[in-house]
Chains A and B, each alone.
Chain A
Amino acid sequence: MSILVGKETRLIVQGITGNWGQRQTLNMLENRTCIVAGVSPGRGGTEVLGIPVYDTVTEAVRYHQANASILYIPAPAVKEAAFEAIESGIKLVVIITEYVPLHDTMKIIDLATQLDAWVIGPNTPGIVSPGKALVGFLPAATVQPGGIGIVSRSGTLAIETLRFLSENSIGIATCCGIGGDLVSGKSHIDYLKLFEKDEQTRVVVLLGEIGGNMEEAASEYIQRMNKPVISMIVGRTAPPGKRMGHAGAIISQGSGSAVHKIEVLKRAGAKVAGDFWHLVKLVQEIQ
């Protein structure tokens, strides 16, 4: 098994007829993802890359038993598209789009919580279970299946970590980018809970960054986990008060600093790596 996505994933692509949606759809198909339909209001009845396109998510769900959706939708239209997916019964909604207004994100999450849907993102590279499914644009072709579960706040950090692990022949169960915004669908702790239960995952890698207290909250759960957790927190040398590009990556008033996060993670029993090479070494020692 793997978490959230796998062979059983039946994906729809909302925004499949756009350039962005089409290119990414091709990439996902090449990585063996089962894409059952596309949705693009006004384009129902057409096809993209041999995939049937519908006007509404409801139709895509009815005719193809879709259970997951990925959104390649411009930021101002994301809220309505996500509402449609969630209210049509989709239980996994992956929002790739950057710059989604925060209040829209909070409303999407509110609805998802009420209807028991899992939201990844916004501002995420998605999720991959190598050999089974790629939902998003994480590198998949060069990544082997294996026993490592990765959860990351930053997309590029997840991508580089996958590369380093792959170069050292370390295989991945699932890798997921939570999302880089101030508020994301789920937090580190939610993914840790899934990894703890997942049979394929043997070691969990938690990639965090300065700002907020998601890593601190995860630490409380790490204490109770049976599986080993290896963490890496970036931004150790970032100046306080400077926004580093991610909306979330900002240290204010001394809270959310890397030093504090590292200390709390260590106390909870996680091993903490200083850089990619150290991370690879720690994974190799545990495996």
Chain B
Amino acid sequence: MLLYEYEGKRIFSQAGIPVPNFVLIKSLDEVQGGGEKIGYPVVLKAQVLRGGRGKAGLIQTAGDLSEAQSKIEAIFQSEQGEDRIERILMEQKIEGLQEVYLGVTIDRLAKRPILVVCGEGGIDIEEVSAKSPEKIFSLHVRPLQGLRLYETVDLAKKIGIRGKMISTIGDILVTLYRVFEAYDAELTEINPLMITSDNRVYALDSKMIINDDALYRHPDIGERYRSLNPLEKEAKSMGLTYVDLQPGNVALISSGAGYTMMVLDLIRSFGGEPANFMDSIVDSRERMQKAVEFTIKRAKEDPQIRSILMLKTMSYTPLDQMMGAIKDAMRGQQSPVPMVSCLRATGNAIRNMTMEEAERQLKELGIRQYSSLRDAVKAAVDLAKER
């Protein structure tokens, strides 16, 4: 989960990484008090999760109160609806000599954290690493051992840091790594760190991504599932994994991301367009029922959805439970669009119900069942195109 800049800066500040003094502005009447506290000139930064704030005019400077008021008003009014800007960070403007980039992320192949540094700050690290990899230096960290201060010395020297500043940068890197570990981060980034003429440093920006699977260890971080859209959030609150892919004409219930991506490729190869994907790997019959209900509800709400494709391969999940969930989901409501299924069951899954019986029940429900995946996908796409 991506954190807002101000959340990251609070964490940095608590950990001992200096950040410019700042206040959070939520409405226009907070501007005057904020300005008095920080002192002009100030930097105004919209707190949004998307990148490219500078280019979008969402980062401004203001020399006095009236300038701050008009610029803050403009930022608040720049976006409406879902993308509405709720908070603007007002901070002390820091002048300095040099900006550097410091980051910790995960090297998936090495299966370890990696420290990444660059002698230029405020950069797009992915772009620089693609175009001028010689400017970037990195160091793997052993997860059980952590980062040692002495290991940072060479790294600091490589990006042109000299004298006493070497140990200042080293301390910042060690702290940044500690934050990375303590907060279960996938990324912690200071971009840029400003070095001033009086040998101070300030993190002018923060970027942190917390590992979703570890969020339970960080109850202090609010607004869970913030990257999900409202539909995905609604599903999540019911314990379901739903991925919205609108606009599309085929709604999909399928198992797991890998197999589903194959099916999505297949839907598109037949000329269809997936509208969404509901994961059918759930831990109970009730959840399965909810998953089917949710997908039918989506088809009712979204006129672009023209068919529902339901795929489930069972070698373990009992077929009778799956069928029960489908029947219960359809008891209270009719699907507004044709439903196609490819249910396949073997081994322990057919202990209590045969595939023939399931096929009979599906037919009764008006669901077109196919034993071949390809035929089912093609049928769902054809039905979606027909209507």
A245 to B257 alpha-carbon distance, docked (Å): 5
Contact across chains for A163 and B106 when beta carbons are under 8 A apart: no
Contact present for A156 and B256 (CB under 8 Å): yes
Distance between Cα atoms of A212 and B347 in the complex (Å): 35
Contact between chains at B261 and A159 (CB < 8 Å)? no
Interface-centre pick from B227, B245, B260, B373 (highest chain A CB count, 10 A):
B260
| A182: contacting residue among B108, B258, B260, B313, CB under 8 A | B108
Instruction: Decide: A234 near B216, CB < 8 A? Known: A102-B106, A156-B256.
Output: no
B 229-252 to A, binary, CB cutoff 8 A, 1 in contact else 0 = 000000000000101010000000
Among A181, A183, A245, contact of B260 (Cβ-Cβ < 8 Å): A245
Closest to B232 in A: A243
Check if A245 sits within 8 Å of B143, measured CB to CB.
no
Which secondary structure dominates chain B's binding surface? Answer: mixed
Q: A110 CA to B373 CA in the complex, in Å?
A: 41
Residues of B within 8 A of A76 (CB): 216
**Assuming A101-B213, A153-B258, is B265 touching A235 (CB within 8 A)?**
yes
Whether B257 contacts A246 by the Cβ 8 Å rule is: yes
B281 adjacent to A103 (CB under 8 Å): no
Assembled-state Cα–Cα distance A182/B106 (Å): 9
Q: Which residue of B lies closest to A125 (CB)?
A: B256
Among listed B61-69, B73-81, B109-117, B147-155, interface-contacting one:
B109-117
A234 → chain B closest CB, angstroms: 4
Per-position 1/0 for A70-101, Cβ under 8 A of B: 00000110000000000000000000000111
The number of residues on chain B lying at the interface, defined by a beta carbon within 8 Å of a beta carbon of chain A, is 49
Residue among A100, A104, A160, A187 with most chain B CB within 10 A: A160
Assess the B258–A142 pair: CB atoms within 8 A: no
Cross-chain contact B261 with A249 (CB below 8 angstroms):
yes
Measured in the bound complex, the distance between the Cα atoms of B261 and A275 in whole Å is 11
**Are B213 and A102 in touch, CB under 8 angstroms?**
yes
Interface hits, B73-131 → A, CB 8 Å: 106, 108-109, 111-113, 126
Cβ of B260: which chain A residues have Cβ within 8 Å of it?
Answer: 156, 244-245
Is A244 touching B112 in the complex (CB atoms < 8 A)? Answer: no
Contact B112–A110 (Cβ < 8 Å): yes
Q: Is the CB of A183 within 8 A of B347?
A: no
- Interface 1/0 per residue, B322-360 and A, CB below 8 Å: 000000000000000000000010111000000000000
Query: In the bound complex, do residue A156 and residue B281 qualify as a contact, i.e. CB atoms below 8 Å apart?
Result: yes
> In the bound complex, what is the Cα–Cα distance between A157 and B255 (angstroms)?
9
Residues of A within 8 A of B261 (CB): 154, 209-210, 234-235, 238, 244, 249
Q: With A103-B143, A182-B108 known to touch, is A237 a contact of B259 (CB < 8 Å)?
A: no
Q: Known contacts A110-B142, A275-B266; is A142 also within 8 Å of B256 by CB?
A: no
In the bound complex, what is the Cα–Cα distance between A104 and B347 (angstroms)?
A: 35
Q: Would you call A277 an interface residue if the criterion is a C-beta within 8 Å of the partner chain's C-beta atoms?
A: yes
Contacts of B313 in A (CB 8 A): 156, 159-160, 163
Check A234/B213 contact, CB under 8 A, given A142-B315, A154-B256, A212-B109.
no
Evaluate contact between A275 and B106: CB separation under 8 angstroms.
no
Q: Which residues in A have their C-beta under 8 angstroms from that of B255?
A: 156
Residues on A with beta carbons closer than 8 Å to the beta carbon of B106: 102, 106, 182-183
Task: Give B52 Cβ to nearest chain A Cβ, in Å.
Answer: 13
Instruction: Tell whether A207 pairs with B258 under 8 Å between CB atoms, given A102-B186, A107-B143.
Output: yes
Residues of B with C-beta under 8 A to A187: 109
Q: Given A75-B213, A110-B142, A275-B266: A139 and B258 within 8 A (CB)? A: no
- Contacts A103-B211, A163-B313, A234-B262: A180 and B257 contacting too (C-beta < 8 A)? yes
Docked-complex contact A103 and B264, CB < 8 angstroms: no
Chain B contacts for A107, CB-based, 8 A: 143-144
From 169 to 226 in chain A, residues with beta carbon under 8 angstroms from any chain B beta carbon are 180-185, 187, 207, 209-210, 212-214, 217
B157 sits at the interface (CB 8 A): no
Residues of A within 8 A of B243 (CB): 242-245
Q: Which residues of A contact B264 (CB under 8 A)?
A: 235, 237-238
Instruction: Name 13 interchain pairs, CB-CB below 8 A, sorted by A.
Output: A76-B216, A102-B106, A102-B184, A103-B214, A107-B144, A109-B111, A156-B258, A158-B258, A159-B259, A234-B265, A244-B260, A246-B256, A276-B373
B positions within 8 Å CB-CB of A: 106, 108-109, 111-113, 126, 142-145, 181, 184, 186, 211-214, 216-217, 227, 241, 243, 245, 255-262, 264-266, 268-269, 277, 279, 281, 313, 315-316, 344, 346-348, 373-374
| A-B residue pairs, 9 tightest by C-beta | A154-B258, A156-B256, A245-B257, A156-B259, A101-B214, A157-B258, A246-B257, A234-B261, A235-B261
